[in-house]
Structure formats: C-alpha cells, structure tokens
C-alpha cells in the first residue's frame, strides 16, 4: 500500500428498518421503496495510517442498485432506481376501516454515525414480474467496482435485499363518498347553472394527489381551459347539459374556465378537501350531443391509478360515476 490508496472497510445494503425483505412496493411505476447503502471508506496517509474519508460526489453518484449477481448485472425488466424521493408515500396502504386500530409499522433502524449513508429508491412498473427480486448495491470507488456480493482486497461484502412486489389496487365506487353542491353557481345569463361534485376516498390512509383528467374528452366548442367534458346532452333552444372533470386545484374557478362566452362569475369549488371534483354545467353550448364517457384517471398517495367514468341520468342533469 502507498499514500493515497483507498480501502473500503464496510459496504452493505438494507432496508431502513434494518431488515432484508419487504413487500412494500406497488408495481405501478411510481411508488418507491427506500434502500439504504452503508459504506465506510478509508484513505492511506503519508504515515501509512488509514483515515476515514468521505466519498467524493462522483463516488456517491455512482452508487446504484442492481440484480443480485455479478458486477455487470442490471436491474430486472420494469425496475428503476432513483436517487431522490418522489411525491408518493412509502409503505403499503393501511388495512381496515377508519375506526380500526392503526396497523403496526416497522421502525427505522438507527444508522451508525461511523458509516456514510446513501439513500436510493426503487420503483417497479407494470411490466415487472409480480414476484420476489433479490437486489444488491454497487459503487465505483478508487478505480474499482464494489458490490455487496463479493470481496475486494480480501475484504468480503455480502448483503442483499429481497423485494416482493405487490399488485396495485383500484378503488371501487362504494369506496368513495360523494357530496354535491347544488348552489356552486347560478345566473340568469343564458340560464347558466353549475353543480360541483366532490368525491373523497373513504378507505383509511388513501387520498388523491394528482388528477390526470379524461383520456379523450369530448371536443366542445368554447370549452373552458380548466374542464374536460365527458358528455353533452341537449335540453331545448340550444341549452345543453355537459358533465365532466374540473381541472383546477387552486386559485379562482370562473364560469369561463368551464365554458367560454357564458360570463366570468366565480364558481365555488373548494367546499371539500379533495382534488376529485366533477361538474354538471347547464347553459348554451353549440355542440351536438356526445356521450363519450372517456376514462378519468387519478393517482393516489401511493402512486396507484384509479379509473372512473362519468355518465348521467335525468337527461344529463345529474352525474353518475362508475368504474
């Protein structure tokens, strides 16, 4: 050995709770499972002593997760490794009803301060095989590739994490509560009347975090900038009903954002704390009837996608949600 030589004294991968098996990863391409890499690097000084030394930025950035095996191994099909946490919650959704006791959750294992910690986040998409995958850590330090399945310079490293994928779930209509505000907006101008529908998951621990809107909205002449139409249904004299998705989460919602050329009065749309909002609009629309009912997609706090369809009853006056 000579001054400047690098030695990796410790290198392992594990879950934040210190275990090496979990099923807390939904195969939806967005949900993440955190893995912790613990590493200890030493550099020889001029006196022949080894000094604990932090990884360089380049070395930290080289850290990744691969399938367990050889240094050349890559991740299984459909898997990804992120360096940063995204917006979705980790873990699995709680089971039971609102009134049931809290589910026991694994505690975090304190990290020894003598180790350098690198957090990585695994994702698995819908193309990944539902089953268990064994994963290892890999890093490039001092011109050498290290994995947690092997040894370098006589120092053995042996650790892995097994992740069993969990199938994504979808909420049913009976797992939503609905509140209808019949007085969200009404005006004599062109007989405009708007009802706002609020849908909220009743399942414990689930909330919608992203409204993706309709896959293929009806093309409506004068469609507002913050609305996706699911159906148009005539009444008489050019007055029609349309129902669809409100595509605004904050700020003011005015009539012209739902349907143009019908005034710019303010529509009350924030009575309930949910981003799953639909509206039934009645007013003048120069568009023929269309009952497309395209899929309405929403993502929840675990990244699971839920698809609903907006239909109608009472000749278009009342929205009906279905899966």
User: What mean pLDDT comes out for the span 73-94?
Assistant: 97
Structure confidence at residue 103 (pLDDT): 45
| Region 65-92 average pLDDT | 97
pLDDT for position 301: 98
Q: What percentage of the chain has pLDDT greater than the value 90?
A: 81
CB 44 within 8 A of CB 3: yes
What domains does the chain contain, in order, with CATH numbers? 6-164 (2.60.40), 173-322 (no CATH)
pLDDT band at 136 (very low <50, low <70, confident <90, very high): very high
pLDDT at 100: 43
Please tell me the predicted confidence (pLDDT) of residue 99: 45
| DSSP letter string, 48-107 | S-EEE-PPPHHHHHH-EEEESSSTT--PPTTEEEESS--SSPPSPPP-S-TTSPPPP-PP
CA 101 → CA 12, 43, 82, 177, distances in Å?
A: 35, 51, 33, 22
Q: The dihedral of CA 267, 271, 313, 212: what is its sign?
A: positive
Ordered alpha helix ranges (H), the chain: 57-62
Model pLDDT for residues 179-207, shown as the tens digit of each residue: 999 999 998 766 899 999 999 999 999 99
CB atoms under 10 Å from CB of 282, counted, come to: 22
Q: What percent of the chain has pLDDT over 70?
A: 95
**Which stretch of 14-23, 80-89, 104-113, 199-208 has the lowest confidence by average pLDDT?**
104-113
Please give the mean pLDDT across all residues of the chain. Answer: 93
Residue 35 pLDDT exceeds 80: yes
For residue range 94-112, what is the model confidence (pLDDT) as tens digits? 976 444 444 445 556 777 8
pLDDT value of residue 26: 98
pLDDT digits (tens, 9 = 90+) for 214-253: 999 999 999 999 999 999 999 987 799 999 999 998 899 9
Residue range 115-125: mean pLDDT, rounded = 97
Range 74-101 average pLDDT: 86
User: pTM of the prediction?
Assistant: 0.90
Q: What is the pLDDT of residues 125-135, one digit of tens each?
A: 999 999 999 99
Sign of CA dihedral 40, 21, 78, 124: negative
Q: Do residues 194 and 265 make contact, with C-beta atoms less than 8 angstroms apart?
A: no
Tokens 């209509």, residue? 173
């Amino acid at each position: 050995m000579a001054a400047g030589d690098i030695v990796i004294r410790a290198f392992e991968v594990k879950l934040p709770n210190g275990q090496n098996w979990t099923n807390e990863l939904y195969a939806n391409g967005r949900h993440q499972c955190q893995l912790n890499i613990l590493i200890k690097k030493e550099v020889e000084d001029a006196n022949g002593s080894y000094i604990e030394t932090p990884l360089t930025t380049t070395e930290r950035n080289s850290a990744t997760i691969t399938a367990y095996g050889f240094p050349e191994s890559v991740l299984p099909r459909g898997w990804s490794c992120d360096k940063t946490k995204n917006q979705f919650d980790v873990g699995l959704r709680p089971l039971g009803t609102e009134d049931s006791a809290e589910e026991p959750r694994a505690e975090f294992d304190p990290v020894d301060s003598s180790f350098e910690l690198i957090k990585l986040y695994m994702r698995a998409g819908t193309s990944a095989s539902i089953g268990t995958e064994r994963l290892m850590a890999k890093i490039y330090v001092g011109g050498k590739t290290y994995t947690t399945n092997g040894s370098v310079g006589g120092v053995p490293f042996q650790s892995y994490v097994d992740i069993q994928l969990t199938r994504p779930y979808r909420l049913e209509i009976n797992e939503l509560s609905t509140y209808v505000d019949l007085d969200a907006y009404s005006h004599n101008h062109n007989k405009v009347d708007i009802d706002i529908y609020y849908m909220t998951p009743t399942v414990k621990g689930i909330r919608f975090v992203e409204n993706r809107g309709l896959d293929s909205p009806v093309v409506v002449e004068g469609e507002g900038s913050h609305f996706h139409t699911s159906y148009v249904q005539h009444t008489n004299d050019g007055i029609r009903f349309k129902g669809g998705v409100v595509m605004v989460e904050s700020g003011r919602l005015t009539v012209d954002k739902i349907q143009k050329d019908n005034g710019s009065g303010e529509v009350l749309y924030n009575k309930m704390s949910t981003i799953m909002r639909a509206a039934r609009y009645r007013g003048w629309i120069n568009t023929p009837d269309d009952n497309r009912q395209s899929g309405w997609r929403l993502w929840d706090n675990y990244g699971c996608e839920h698809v609903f369809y907006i239909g109608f009853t009472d000749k278009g006056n009342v929205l009906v949600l279905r899966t």
